[in-house]
Amino acid sequence: MSRAPWLDGELEYRSFGTPGAPRAVLVLRTGDVSTIDPDVRITSGFDVRIVAVGLDAPELEDPPAFGGHTPAGLTVDALRTLLEREALGTTVGVVGERSAGPIAIHLAAAMGDVVDRLAIVGVESPSDPLSRDEHAPLLDGVSAETLIIVGGSGPADAIDAEWYRGRLPSARVEEIHPDDLDTINGHVTLSAVWGSVLAHVAPGAERR
């Protein structure tokens, strides 16, 4: 486990995969498994370096105000600095699961062409009209090809996916049927769809 400065605390992250690989993938999640490889068997089949960052509630606050001095805006700045240190000169894919999804989107917008692929998994759309009005303009700045995955019995559904798809310049949706999810609670999780996600955010990196 490594740590990077953030405000008066630190971001926790772990790197795994192939050191020095020409492509890096930044994975943003919350919870106890946030810095653990989503599926070692799948990751080992790709020539890619993974930087997995664990986020918590304070680091996700006020994401629509990206660009200001909100915790979420400052977290995006810290993640940019982390990538410059850990993956300088590489092409980057960014992944956001559930509540970390908005930060992943904002980071992709902030980094421009450096981030060419984005995937969000089980991410709900903004819950009220004001949040939607504040959030929507940020999506226009995302140039990355985006994969949106929803499904199962989780809170994010096809309506959430279509909200994002209609506002991101280059996006497609995968909706997973509950019967196709190998999970205990039937929720779509990054681990359950890691193969599809990694193939999207690390194109051409699969080992032959």
pLDDT tens profile 53-103: 999 876 676 655 555 567 788 888 889 999 988 888 888 999 999 999 999
pLDDT bracket for residue 9 (50, 70, 90): low
pLDDT of residue 85: 86
The letter for the amino acid at 165 is R
CB neighbours of residue 176 within 10 Å: 18
d(CA 152, CA 55): 24
Looking at residue 86, what is its pLDDT?
Answer: 85
Helix 101-111 and helix 129-139, axial crossing angle in degrees, nearest 10: 40
Q: What is the mean pLDDT of residues 166-195?
A: 88
Residues above pLDDT 90, as percent of the chain: 58
Whether the pTM exceeds 0.85: the reply is yes
* pLDDT at residue 11 in the model: 82
23-32, 66-75, 168-177: least confidently modelled range = 66-75
Output the pLDDT for position 8: 47
Query: Of 27, 22, 24, whose CA–CA distance to 13 is shortest?
Result: 27
Whether 66 contacts 3, CB under 8 Å: no
User: Is residue 26 predicted with pLDDT exceeding 90?
Assistant: yes
Report the chain's mean pLDDT, rounded to a whole number.
87
- pLDDT for the residue 145: 98
Comparison of pLDDT for 73 and 165, the residue scoring more: 165
Instruction: Write the single-letter amino acid at 73.
Output: G
Residue 29: pLDDT above 90?
Answer: yes
